[in-house]
Amino acid sequence: MKGTKQILKTLFILFSFVSLQACSVPFANGVTGKDIIKVANAGKNIKNITKEGINEELITETKNILKDIKNGGKAQR
Protein backbone atom coordinates (compact mmCIF):
# COMPACT_ATOMS: atom_id res chain seq x y z
CA MET A 1 0.00 0.00 0.00
CA LYS A 2 2.81 2.38 0.84
CA GLY A 3 4.44 1.77 -2.54
CA THR A 4 1.18 2.51 -4.31
CA LYS A 5 0.83 5.86 -2.54
CA GLN A 6 4.39 6.79 -3.51
CA ILE A 7 3.75 5.88 -7.14
CA LEU A 8 0.52 7.88 -7.23
CA LYS A 9 2.23 10.85 -5.62
CA THR A 10 5.05 10.70 -8.17
CA LEU A 11 2.59 10.44 -11.05
CA PHE A 12 0.61 13.40 -9.71
CA ILE A 13 3.73 15.54 -9.45
CA LEU A 14 4.87 14.50 -12.92
CA PHE A 15 1.43 15.16 -14.42
CA SER A 16 1.23 18.55 -12.70
CA PHE A 17 4.67 19.50 -13.97
CA VAL A 18 3.83 18.52 -17.55
CA SER A 19 0.42 20.18 -17.54
CA LEU A 20 1.78 23.47 -16.20
CA GLN A 21 4.55 23.80 -18.76
CA ALA A 22 2.31 25.75 -21.13
CA CYS A 23 1.12 28.12 -18.40
CA SER A 24 2.92 31.18 -17.17
CA VAL A 25 4.35 29.61 -14.04
CA PRO A 26 7.18 31.34 -12.16
CA PHE A 27 9.77 28.77 -13.22
CA ALA A 28 8.73 28.53 -16.89
CA ASN A 29 11.85 30.37 -18.04
CA GLY A 30 14.21 28.36 -15.87
CA VAL A 31 15.23 28.39 -12.24
CA THR A 32 17.57 31.14 -11.12
CA GLY A 33 19.49 31.58 -7.91
CA LYS A 34 16.92 34.10 -6.69
CA ASP A 35 14.18 31.51 -7.17
CA ILE A 36 16.07 29.01 -5.03
CA ILE A 37 16.55 31.60 -2.29
CA LYS A 38 12.84 32.50 -2.38
CA VAL A 39 11.84 28.84 -2.01
CA ALA A 40 14.32 28.33 0.85
CA ASN A 41 13.04 31.42 2.67
CA ALA A 42 9.44 30.33 2.18
CA GLY A 43 10.31 26.96 3.70
CA LYS A 44 11.86 28.63 6.73
CA ASN A 45 8.95 31.03 7.21
CA ILE A 46 6.15 28.49 6.86
CA LYS A 47 6.16 27.90 10.63
CA ASN A 48 5.12 31.55 11.15
CA ILE A 49 1.88 31.20 9.17
CA THR A 50 -1.30 31.25 11.25
CA LYS A 51 -4.69 29.79 10.45
CA GLU A 52 -6.18 33.29 10.39
CA GLY A 53 -3.51 34.44 7.94
CA ILE A 54 -4.26 31.53 5.63
CA ASN A 55 -7.99 32.31 5.73
CA GLU A 56 -7.37 35.99 4.99
CA GLU A 57 -5.03 35.19 2.09
CA LEU A 58 -7.50 32.68 0.66
CA ILE A 59 -10.34 35.21 0.78
CA THR A 60 -8.18 37.96 -0.75
CA GLU A 61 -6.94 35.77 -3.60
CA THR A 62 -10.45 34.47 -4.28
CA LYS A 63 -11.73 38.04 -4.54
CA ASN A 64 -8.87 38.93 -6.89
CA ILE A 65 -9.63 35.96 -9.13
CA LEU A 66 -13.32 36.82 -9.25
CA LYS A 67 -12.54 40.48 -10.06
CA ASP A 68 -10.21 39.27 -12.80
CA ILE A 69 -12.96 37.08 -14.27
CA LYS A 70 -15.53 39.87 -13.97
CA ASN A 71 -13.29 42.38 -15.77
CA GLY A 72 -12.28 40.02 -18.53
CA GLY A 73 -8.77 39.47 -17.24
CA LYS A 74 -7.89 43.17 -17.03
CA ALA A 75 -7.87 43.64 -13.26
CA GLN A 76 -4.56 44.56 -11.72
CA ARG A 77 -3.32 42.77 -8.64
Range 41-55 average pLDDT: 83
What per-residue confidence (pLDDT) applies to 27? 56
Over 70: is that where the pLDDT of 34 sits?
yes
pTM of the predicted model, to two decimals? Answer: 0.39
Over 80: is that where the pLDDT of 20 sits?
no
What per-residue confidence (pLDDT) applies to 68? 82
Alpha helical stretches, state H, the chain: 2-19, 33-45, 51-70
d(CA 14, CA 34): 24
